[in-house]
Amino acid sequence: MANNKPPDSKLILAAGAVAWRPGRDGGEPEVLLVHRKKYDDWSLPKGKTEPGEQLPLTAVREVFEEGGARLILGRRLTSVRYQVGGRPKRVYWWAARVSGVDEAAVPNDEVDEVTWAVRPRAGELASYEHDVRVLGDFASRPADTVPLILVRHATAVPRSKWKGDDGERPLDSTGRAQAKLLAPLLAAFAPHARVISSAATRCLDSIGPYAELTGAQVRAEQALQVRSSGTDPAASAALIAETIGAGEPAVVCAHRENVSLLQAAAIGALGPPDGTLLPREWADELPTAGFWVLHMTPPPLAPPAPAPQPRWRWRRRTAGDGAAAGPAGGALVAADRYDLSDA
pLDDT tens per residue, range 219-278? 999 999 987 656 788 888 899 999 999 999 999 999 999 999 999 999 999 988 876 779
Per-residue pLDDT, 178: 97
Roughly how many angstroms between the first and final C-alpha of the chain, as a whole number?
10
Answer whether residue 7 shows pLDDT above 70: no
Per-residue pLDDT, 78: 96
Answer whether residue 314 shows pLDDT above 80: no
Strands 80-84 and 111-118: unpaired
Mean residue pLDDT across the chain? 89
Answer whether residue 325 shows pLDDT above 60: no
Among the ranges given (5-19, 33-47, 95-109, 130-144), the one the predictor scored with the smallest mean pLDDT: 5-19
Confidence of residue 335 (pLDDT cuts 50, 70, 90): very high
Per-residue pLDDT, 329: 59
Answer whether residue 25 shows pLDDT above 50: yes
Per-residue pLDDT, 129: 96
Please say whether the beta carbons of 19 and 98 come within 8 A: yes
Per-residue pLDDT, 107: 95
Answer whether residue 117 shows pLDDT above 80: yes
Q: Which residue in 4, 7, 14, 10 sits closest to 90, CA to CA? A: 14
pLDDT, tens digit, for every residue of 88-106?
A: 999 999 999 999 999 999 9
Per-residue pLDDT, 343: 47
β-bridge mates for residue 98, sequence order: 71
Mean pLDDT along residues 279-292: 96
Per-residue pLDDT, 310: 44
Answer whether residue 63 shows pLDDT above 80: yes
Answer whether residue 302 shows pLDDT above 80: no
Greatest mean pLDDT among 189-198, 300-309, 317-326, 334-343: 189-198
User: Is the model more confident about 328 or about 156?
Assistant: 156
User: Is the model more confident about 343 or about 147?
Assistant: 147
User: Is the model more confident about 315 or about 136?
Assistant: 136
Mean pLDDT along residues 184-199: 98
Q: How many angstroms separate the CA atoms of 205 and 55, rounded?
A: 24
Among the ranges given (75-79, 164-168, 175-179, 339-343), the one the predictor scored with the smallest mean pLDDT: 339-343
Answer whether residue 114 shows pLDDT above 90: yes
